[in-house]
């Protein structure tokens, strides 16, 4: 498998799973555009990619802002002349029972986890259609397939992302654009650490490990192989699919 000379935009790759994807793509020969709300994290990712012999560009991008998303695409074209891959990875949540949520939280969760990926997808499609080539890999979650207590609106967004993936896959197949979804299970990242702080958090982590047939949480490195495969030409005839990478937590 290789991504030689491909250019990949990876949102939220200033840390966590996105950084793992950027490093994997870099090691497979891709040039990576690290687009993250936190520019500092993005720059760190690029320096790690470059230390390993790859090439990258860090952009400060808030995917909930359409103008910034357009700017992300323009900056990519200015730097590399073209691009081949979009990974919609940026995401965010807190764990709280639905009846305790306030509507401002819903709006924020929907803006980051559903509207942001929709904006990014729309922003890359004209370029992909004109080249009759493109790969989109959406990072959803097992929460979007089977639900997750304390993450009602996040789960709705992630389920929405799966349905969005399938529809865009159908509409774009005529242009040879592949659109697929990877669903991580619980993965050791800064987001999970933040979600599971304190004594109750430790109990949640313990319960998660017991629920996973492999009896451990994922690491970002566990997720990126599947993403790289779906972004590669070896997956050229795969589209509209949802693949869980969760040690057997969700089977279908």
Ligand X SMILES: NC(=O)c1ccc[n+]([C@@H]2O[C@H](COP(=O)([O-])OP(=O)(O)OC[C@H]3O[C@@H](n4cnc5c(N)ncnc54)[C@H](O)[C@@H]3O)[C@@H](O)[C@H]2O)c1
Are 138 and 158 a contacting pair, CB within 8 Å? no
Least CB distance to ligand X at residue 163 (A): 16
Q: Does 10 bind ligand X (CB under 6 A)?
A: no
Instruction: From 86, 116, 113, 92, select the one nearest 10 (Cα to Cα).
Output: 86
Interface residue with ligand X among 6, 9, 16, 227 (CB under 6 A) is: 16
Instruction: Give the binding range for ligand X (CB under 6 A) out of 16-24, 48-56, 73-81, 124-132.
Output: 16-24
Look up 154 and say whether it is catalytic: yes
| SS3 (DSSP) at 118 | helix
Binding mask 118-137 for ligand X (x = CB under 6 A): --------------------
43 binds ligand X (CB under 6 A): no
The pair of structure tokens assigned to 76 is: 């990519």
Figure out which of the listed residues 141, 165, 239, 242 binds ligand X, where binding follows CB under 6 A. 141
Whether 59 and 35 have beta carbons less than 8 Å apart is answered as: yes
Among 15, 54, 56, 159, binds ligand X (CB under 6 A): 15
Candidates 9, 10, 31, 89: give the one binding ligand X (CB under 6 A): 89
Which residue, 90 or 133, has its beta carbon nearer to ligand X?
Answer: 90
Count the neighbouring beta carbons within 10 Å of the beta carbon of residue 36.
29
165: contact with ligand X by CB under 6 A: no
**Is 76 a binder of ligand X (CB under 6 A)?**
no
User: How far is Cα 136 from Cα 171, in angstroms, rounded to an integer?
Assistant: 13
Q: Is 63 in the site for ligand X (CB under 6 A)?
A: yes
Examine residue 62 and tell whether it contacts ligand X (CB under 6 A). Answer: yes
Tell me which of 26, 56, 116, 247 binds ligand X, using CB under 6 A.
Answer: 116
Q: How many residues touch ligand X (CB under 6 A)?
A: 30
3-state secondary structure 55-116: EEEEEECCCCCHHHHHHHHHHHHHHHCCCCEEEECCCCCCCCCHHHCCHHHHHHHHHHHHHH
- CA 19, distance to chain mean position in Å, is 10
Alpha carbons 98 and 82: distance in angstroms, whole number: 43
Outline where the chain has alpha helix (H).
Answer: 16-27, 39-51, 66-80, 103-110, 116-131, 143-146, 152-172, 190-195, 198-211, 220-231
Least separation in angstroms between residue 4's CB and ligand X is 26
Name beta bridge partners: 183.
244
Q: Using CB under 6 A, which of the segments 94-102, 128-136, 184-192, 197-205 binds ligand X?
A: 184-192
The catalytic residue positions are 154
Residues of this chain that bind ligand X (CB under 6 A): 11-12, 14-18, 36-38, 41, 61-64, 89-92, 112, 116, 139, 141, 184, 186-187, 189-192
């Amino acid at each position: 498998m290789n991504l030689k000379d491909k250019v990949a935009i990876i949102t939220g790759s200033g840390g966590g799973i996105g950084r793992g994807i950027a490093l994997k793509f870099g090691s497979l020969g891709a040039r990576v555009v690290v687009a993250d709300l936190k520019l500092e994290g993005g720059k760190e990712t690029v320096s790690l990619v470059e230390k390993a012999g790859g090439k990258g560009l860090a952009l400060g991008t808030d995917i909930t802002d359409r103008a910034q998303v357009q700017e992300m695409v323009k900056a990519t074209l200015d730097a590399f002349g073209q691009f081949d891959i979009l990974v919609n990875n940026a995401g965010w949540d807190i764990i709280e029972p639905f009846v305790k949520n306030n509507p401002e939280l819903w709006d924020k969760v929907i803006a980051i986890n559903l509207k942001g990926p929709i904006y990014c997808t729309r922003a890359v499609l004209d370029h992909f259609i004109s080249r009759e080539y493109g790969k989109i890999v959406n990072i959803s979650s097992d929460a979007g397939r089977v639900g997750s207590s304390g993450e009602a609106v996040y789960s709705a967004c992630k389920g929405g992302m799966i349905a969005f993936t399938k529809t865009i896959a159908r509409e774009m197949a005529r242009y040879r654009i592949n659109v697929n979804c990877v669903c991580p299970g619980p993965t050791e990242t800064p987001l999970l650490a933040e979600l599971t702080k304190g004594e109750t958090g430790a109990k949640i982590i313990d319960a998660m490990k017991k629920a996973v047939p492999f009896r451990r949480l994922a690491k970002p490195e566990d997720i990126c192989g599947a993403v790289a495969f779906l972004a590669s030409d070896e997956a050229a005839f795969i589209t509209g699919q949802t693949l869980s990478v969760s040690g057997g937590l969700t089977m279908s």
